[in-house]
Chain A
């Protein structure tokens, strides 16, 4: 055990004392947040074009409204951000130009205006049916939108919304119902989402608490993302440490002093210690943030303990996999194929966050969170959402996870024992499976 601890301490110091590690502590969360931020920024700022819509209004009642509404929209917050006194365009501008040519046959108009779209004179065109206000008068009641950019949804969406709003308003007016009455009748009802009443006390209780987005969404999802970041930063260290020692020819000296299994355990301990160090740093910052904003009461101490428990499981499972890959390969480039599989395994539970979040108590969510490879992330997510999983689910998940983690460590150790000294040989997946079942 003393030797295993020596290996763990040595590898831990080698990792955390490096400049790369210190930089990555700062960069990793920024990188992940940056990707999310980039999405928002891109959504708002990428398309700042002027989109000209040529409108063929066979009803003759909507053109002017759409022209005006487009101008109104361009002045609105959707397009112009004037916060802080600075006016800044943050979205595409729409302009509507009524078609003023002869109202010839539809196919002819389509041909003519399509050519103008191709020539980039207009962005798109739309034809409004002549019977749109009175559907009972004839069949020509629809609106057709034509463009060569089918993925650009903002303009057709705006058109649909605006046309519907205006048409409904005209239809109500024609039916003798005043717009004010309509607005009054159509006023939406707000639904207040609350937790359950406290039934543990007799007599009248306080009003149940309102759902809080921090408690019900940000903390559980944030915890899973934090676990994902830490696993991604720590578990692959196993591969780096093993490959580096193999490439620097240190492995043979090490295994002449300790057994390959002890060596792997030492390295796994080191990777786990690195993971826990990251957890302390990131969780410390998060707690500081929650204290600063006076919402620390939204995070329960038990949830923090679950986070650490599932982090250790994830590090053991994924760390053993990465260690096994490192032992089976001689050079970094050889690890690419196997590393891809491992990355997919870590990514898979992330792809399941939304379905589990929207229905945490469904049979699917229960089943998938009991799959040991997914348990650390998905059970942690479910634990953060009230009412949380049943005790039997938690017990089963912990038992399955323990067995699977032990299996991973055992399998990793087996691959380690044979792979470590297989210098210069390229291991195939079949060969690795053979090593697993060799005596």
Chain B
């Protein structure tokens, strides 16, 4: 078996002469959780659709589970789209059974797995309920089951946590990790940066159809280094934080501020201590959230510059 569950090589796709994905290459290691992040309209959904063979690339190669032929590996791929949808008038049992049959599963196995998953996610008593009678969280769990019932080799999840309460979120998160432990490769597309940072082995970021970040969390942290100070003061600071030596930007989180700096943090501490009663001064690595903001912000800046130049 290949080391990679998915490989995209120089893939391009455009709609009405607008590049949605431009010369994109990526490799998703088999058995990993691969975080897929990017601003809205960055080309994320197009890339996921290319991986699922819902659309064909204009150029390049899409290889999924070792197959380059269209749809050859479809029965081994589970998919949870961002926009959830189930048949409202169908019962939970029939719904799961229908999607499982479309993945080529035999009847007896469908029955066994349906009961297993419903029991596991606390929905065993709703097996004969119509979908329209379920709560939003329950509906999402049912849709999650339709994506994983055939024990996929590749699971593509688009915003799996959106709209879930903390309890349901934890249940789904645990199942994703369990599937990874059992050998499933997971592509997790999300705007929830903390979930991506905590769960993913690799992170891939796309912006304006191009790859802007790709690597393991360790590699990404290594690339951005420790350039962040987390600061909490009592009362007001008597100084504009951006005027402190070496500080390039300040983000106010309410209860604390994050300062991006270069140079020696001790000089900043010394300058600050003369103007504020410091409660916390912690030199740390930027979070994935910060990295996302920086990269996406940089992208917007470049876009503006290009527009002005044009």
Contacts and interface: CB of A to CB of B under 8 A. Distances in A.
Interface of A: 2-3, 6-7, 10, 14, 18, 245, 248-259, 421
Given A248-B87, A248-B88, A253 B98 contact: no
A257 B81 contact: no
Most chain B CB inside 10 Å of its own CB: which residue of A3, A253, A254, A256: A256
Given A256-B52, A256-B77, A6 B98 contact: yes
B271 interface: no
B71 A259 contact: yes
Contacts of B71: 259
Contacts of B77: 256
Contacts of B86: 248, 250
Nearest to B75: A257
Determine the main DSSP class of A at the interface with B.
helix
A2 B101 CA distance: 9
8 contacts: A3-B102, A14-B89, A248-B85, A248-B86, A249-B81, A250-B87, A259-B71, A421-B55
A3 B85 contact: no
Contacts of A251: 85
Given A3-B102, A248-B88, A253-B99, 4 more contacts: A255-B54, A257-B74, A258-B74, A421-B54
Interface string B194-206: 0000000000000
B84 interface: yes
B83 A6 contact: no
Interface string B68-92: 0001001101010101111111100
Contacts of B83: 249, 252
A253 B81 contact: yes
B100 to A, nearest CB: 10
B106 to A, nearest CB: 10
Interface string B146-171: 10000000000000000000000000
A425 to B, nearest CB: 10
Contact of B85 (A6, A7, A249, A421): A249
Determine the main DSSP class of B at the interface with A.
loop
B297 interface: no
Contacts of A18: 89
B210 interface: no
B101 A256 contact: no
Interface of B: 49, 52, 54-55, 71, 74-75, 77, 79, 81, 83-90, 98-99, 101-104, 146
B282 to A, nearest CB: 44
A258 B81 CA distance: 16
Nearest to B156: A256
Contact of B101 (A3, A249, A255): A3
Nearest to B85: A249
A256 B55 CA distance: 10
Contact of B102 (A14, A252, A257, A421): A257
Contacts of A10: 98
Given A249-B85, A250-B87, A256 B98 contact: no
B65 to A, nearest CB: 14
Please name the 7 residue pairs, one residue from A and one from B, whose CB atoms are nearest each other, closest first. Answer: A249-B85, A257-B102, A249-B83, A250-B85, A248-B85, A6-B101, A256-B79
Contacts of B84: 249
Given A7-B102, A10-B98, A252 B81 contact: yes
Contacts, number: 55
Nearest to A252: B81
Contact of B49 (A245, A253, A257, A421): A421
B103 A257 contact: yes
Contacts of A7: 102
A248 B79 CA distance: 16
Contacts of B102: 3, 6-7, 254, 257-258
A253 B85 contact: yes
B104 A3 contact: yes
Nearest to B53: A256
Contacts of A14: 87, 89-90
A257 B99 CA distance: 8
A253 B146 contact: yes
Most chain A CB inside 10 Å of its own CB: which residue of B83, B90, B102: B102
Contacts of B75: 257
A57 to B, nearest CB: 74
Nearest to A439: B56
Contacts of A245: 85
Most chain B CB inside 10 Å of its own CB: which residue of A6, A249, A253, A259: A253
A354 B90 CA distance: 45
Nearest to B131: A248
A3 B104 CA distance: 7
Contacts of B90: 14
Given A3-B101, A3-B104, A10-B98, A256 B74 contact: yes
A418 to B, nearest CB: 9
Nearest to A266: B102
A369 B101 CA distance: 42
A248 B87 CA distance: 7
Contacts of A254: 102
B47 to A, nearest CB: 14
B72 to A, nearest CB: 12
A380 B87 CA distance: 38
Most chain A CB inside 10 Å of its own CB: which residue of B54, B89, B90: B54
A7 B55 CA distance: 21
A248 B52 CA distance: 20
Nearest to A246: B85
A6 B87 CA distance: 15
A196 to B, nearest CB: 56
Nearest to A7: B102
A245 B95 CA distance: 13
A167 B102 CA distance: 83
Given A2-B104, A3-B102, A10-B98, A256 B54 contact: yes
B36 to A, nearest CB: 16
A245 B52 CA distance: 19
A3 B88 CA distance: 21
B99 A252 contact: no
B133 to A, nearest CB: 16
A3 B54 CA distance: 17
Contacts of B103: 257
